Amino acid sequence: MFDALQHLSFWNWLAFGTLLLILEVFGAGGYLLWIGLAAAAVGLLTYLIPDLHWTLQFVLFGVLAILTAVYWWRRQRTAAKPSDQPGLNQRGSELLGRTFTLHEAISGGRGKIKAGDSLWLVSGPELPAGSQVRVIGQDGVLLKVDAVP
């Protein structure tokens, strides 16, 4: 085994890097990509410096793998910034604070309002049809309303 380690060539590192990149295709979330690139970088260094000792190759691989993983982690954290359009793809959030007329009376805590060309299920206090209500919240497709004085 030690004989095989002492004769590592750049082909071994490139094959290992390629294997990691192939495994990344099956959904590792980016982590094997950077470790595979670290293995390819060690393969390139081994090609440029053929007499590089095997222990130094493994140390370089470990350091490069850690550095690329930290780079990936930091990149992922900075890429997740809040949207400048927080209500995007949240149908109904544009109705918050608006006033509507009840289309169907609220009985048993449920009723309906008409907003534009859509009927929305609402929850709130018992009110007859035709009452004015203000949308105060949203729970999925259910709008929470309160009576307008």
Summarised one tens digit per residue, pLDDT across range 34-63 is 899 999 999 999 999 988 888 899 999 999
pLDDT at 141 over 80: yes
How far CA 62 is from CA of 17, 24, 36, in Å, comes to 13, 18, 12
Orientation of helix 54-79 relative to helix 31-48, angle to 10°: 140
Burial label, 109 (beta-carbon count in 10 A; 0-12, 13-18, 19+): exposed
Domains and CATH numbers, the chain: 2-79 (no CATH), 93-147 (2.40.50.140)
User: Using alpha carbons only, what angle is made at residue 129 by residues 127 and 135, rounded to the nearest 5 degrees?
Assistant: 65
pLDDT of residue 61: 94
Q: How confident is the model at residue 5 (pLDDT cuts 50, 70, 90)?
A: low
